[in-house]
Amino acid sequence: MPVCVCIHWVAPIIFVPCHLVRDMLEIILSIVTEWALSQWIFLHVMVSGTCSLVTIHQPPVLTTALGHDVVMPCHLTHDEKMLTPSVLYWTDTNNVRVWRPSENYEGRVDLLDHDVLSLNKSLLLRKVKWTDGRKYLCKVSITLQDKRFRMSGNGTLLMVYDTVNFKPTSHNQSLLCCEVNVTQGPGFVLSIFHIGYNLQTVDTAPGNVSALPYVTLSQTIYLRNKGKYECQLHLNEELVAKNIYYHLPEPDVEVFPEPWFLYVALLLVPVTILLSLVTAMLMYRCCVCLP
Ligand SMILES: *[C@@H]1O[C@H](CO)[C@@H](O)[C@H](O)[C@H]1NC(C)=O
Ligand SMILES: *[C@@H]1O[C@H](CO)[C@@H](O)[C@H](O)[C@H]1NC(C)=O
Ligand SMILES: *[C@@H]1O[C@H](CO)[C@@H](O)[C@H](O)[C@H]1NC(C)=O
């Protein structure tokens, strides 16, 4: 016969006087509150010192044509009054100093606003080169209550593009080719349109790394229809540059035909007059000659 054994766990019951529990809770609560308060103050000082005092605003991406000048915006906003002027730095991603310029950038950069107290820390970069296509960080160093804080913006990625070439190929006049050199890295899209319709598109694929500081986007289409063809370069849905090609079969001849008939008619008038004059003179002479 199986034997059923039941085991009962009996929790020990301890009787504690009520006022003692209350006292204990109060002590625990006061310890926790004090700790939390000190932590909060500490955090607040940290946050106000390093984060919420100054915010550095930079646009994430900027495009510019090769050889042109570009303004890289950087604006500061702050909660409190800045006690001392901020010291400004601009560096690129290789940590090469752009402002004050190191030799790579010497003579090509300038601040838009030279006032040290200005919140406008925008930088002008002149005659952009292919090698300038990289990320730029706007940094400030602020002294507040004898403490020095150094902060950086999120950076602006500068993307360079060259002229968009759009013309028939040299080996076959009925093939239309669109070509442009752009900074490496994803984002650029080249498209050909005909009367508003997208015919073909190509983009800068990520991981398509070449030894050159730029990649070439190229598209070729067959010139089937007449009218306006447009080649557009976009970056993240935004139109950056374009070029237009009109495919019209010698429009001048059809629209304005040469008035050859008029030329001939005009030429005929003096010839006719001359001929009749000559004839008249000959006839007169003959008449005179006749006895
Ligand atoms: C910088 O980037 C961080 C993280 O992506 C973001 O939370 C912050 O708002 C950015 N700062 C500015 C000024 O845009
Ligand atoms: C401030 O910065 C912007 C670019 O963000 C620039 O266009 C403008 O001219 C600057 N203002 C001054 C006073 O330099
Ligand atoms: C030009 O290209 C088109 C399309 O590829 C082809 O049909 C045509 O024969 C080519 N013309 C010449 C002259 O090569």
Query: pTM above the 0.85 mark?
Result: no
Pocket test for ligand 3, best of 169, 170, 172 (most atoms within 8 A of CB): 172
CA dist 81 → 85, 119, 186, 268 (Å):
10, 12, 41, 92
CA 193 vs CA 107, 177, 200: distances in Å: 41, 12, 7
| Per-residue confidence (pLDDT) for residue 39, from 0 to 100 | 44
> Who has greater pLDDT, 230 or 54?
230
Average pLDDT of every residue of the chain: 79
- Composition of the chain by helix, strand, coil, percent to 5: 25, 35, 40
Query: Is 169 near ligand 3, meaning CB less than 6 Å away?
Result: no
SS3 40: helix
Task: State pLDDT tens for residues 169-213.
Answer: 999 999 999 999 999 888 899 999 998 888 888 887 665 566 888
Mutate which of 61, 154, 157 for ligand 1? The one with the most ligand atoms within 8 Å of its CB, which is 154
Relative to the alpha carbon of 76, which ligand is closest?
1
Digit-coded pLDDT (tens) for 206-258: 655 668 889 999 999 999 889 999 999 999 889 999 999 999 865 554 455 66
